[in-house]
């Protein structure tokens, strides 16, 4: 096994490592890599849906997406398809997956099925570092406060994506409140747990103050020195710690300029803990 560090903030590509050899006996090696690097990448992983589900089960219970229909025989696997003629892409914008859930998922596993020759990279960002480097005055205001996270409803996940199918849960939005600064249940590290896609307001302060403060925090979280960028290839896998990272699927597709390509990914998510 060889480890290539992708940036000073987070991210490592693991070479000479086959994920279909992971069992309960050697799972600790993989989990330790994830805890250290926040997101780990593996190329040339020819694993089946059954093996992908088994890999996910080692981290915990694999959940179905709240709004999107999964694969026919594997409903927990969400197939993310961007059609060749589409500019939009699922996962645009900085976010932590399903932060609106009472127990947001702890781990996300992404597998590339079909990758365009140009475009479609994903950027990941370290929210432990975001907390460490945040302005002290802002820290003092938010350290003991909660924020409201909202799901945006089913249309958000299917309306602008011709190949994404609803699971029948239509229209309904739901929300949960979480600490703005959460604690990682395995490492004890502090995490800045808000994101511009799902976090709507800070509780306990006037709405105008909340909007201004969140805007400052979001701009801070977007700093490039907190991030790493991964260029996908076919049959690559990313495993990310969703508790302490955010990610952004770059939609640099321009069909009108000859850069329209289909992009296909599989995603599974593992049930997490209620943030504290």
pLDDT of residue 172: 76
CA distances from 209 to 142, 212, 242 (A): 12, 5, 28
Q: Name the 3-class secondary structure at 157.
A: helix
For residue range 185-198, list pLDDT tens digits in order. Answer: 999 999 999 999 99
Helix axes 27-37 and 49-59, enclosed angle (nearest 10): 70
Task: Name the region of 271 (left: φ>0; alpha: ψ -120 to 50; beta: rest).
Answer: beta
Global pTM reads 0.94
Domain 2-270 has CATH 3.60.130.10: yes
pLDDT of residue 258: 65
DSSP 3-state helix, strand, coil percentages of the chain (rounded to 5)?
25, 30, 50
pLDDT per residue rounded down to tens, the chain (276 residues): 999 999 999 999 999 999 988 888 899 999 999 999 999 999 999 999 999 999 999 999 999 988 888 899 999 999 999 888 887 788 889 999 999 999 999 999 999 999 998 889 999 999 999 999 999 999 999 999 999 999 887 778 877 777 777 777 766 788 999 999 999 999 999 999 999 999 999 999 999 999 999 999 999 999 999 999 999 999 999 999 999 999 999 988 877 776 678 899 999 999 999 999
Please report, for the chain, the start and end positions of each structural domain, with discontinuous segments joined by +: 2-270
For residue range 45-87, list pLDDT tens digits in order. Answer: 999 999 999 999 999 999 998 888 889 999 999 999 988 888 7
Which neighbouring-strand residues pair with 192? Answer: 181
pLDDT of residue 155: 74
């Amino acid at each position: 096994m060889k480890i290539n560090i992708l940036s000073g903030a987070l991210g490592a590509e693991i070479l000479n490592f086959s994920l279909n050899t992971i069992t309960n006996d050697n799972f600790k090696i993989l989990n330790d890599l994830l805890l250290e690097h926040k997101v780990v990448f593996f190329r040339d992983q020819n694993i089946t849906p059954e093996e992908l589900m088994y890999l996910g089960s080692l981290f915990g219970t694999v959940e179905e997406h709240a709004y999107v229909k999964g694969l026919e025989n594997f409903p927990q696997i969400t197939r993310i398809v961007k059609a060749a003629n589409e500019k939009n892409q699922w996962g645009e914008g900085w976010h932590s997956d399903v932060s609106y859930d009472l127990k947001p998922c702890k781990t996300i596993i992404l597998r590339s099925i079909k990758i365009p020759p140009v475009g479609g990279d994903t950027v990941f960002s370290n929210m432990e570092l975001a907390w460490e480097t945040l302005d002290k005055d802002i820290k003092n205001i938010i350290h003991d406060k909660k924020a409201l996270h909202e799901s945006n409803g089913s249309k958000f996940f299917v309306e602008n994506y011709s190949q994404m199918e609803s699971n029948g849960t239509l229209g309904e939005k739901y929300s949960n409140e979480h600490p703005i600064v959460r604690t990682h249940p395995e490492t004890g590290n502090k995490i800045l747990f808000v994101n511009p896609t799902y976090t709507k307001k800070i509780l306990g302060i006037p709405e105008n103050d909340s909007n201004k403060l969140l805007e400052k925090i979001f701009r801070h979280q977007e700093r490039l020195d907190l991030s790493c960028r991964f260029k996908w290839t076919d049959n690559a896998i990313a495993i990310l710690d969703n508790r302490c990272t955010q990610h952004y699927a770059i939609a640099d597709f321009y069909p009108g300029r000859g850069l329209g390509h289909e992009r296909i990914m599989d995603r599974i998510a593992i049930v997490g803990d209620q943030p504290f």
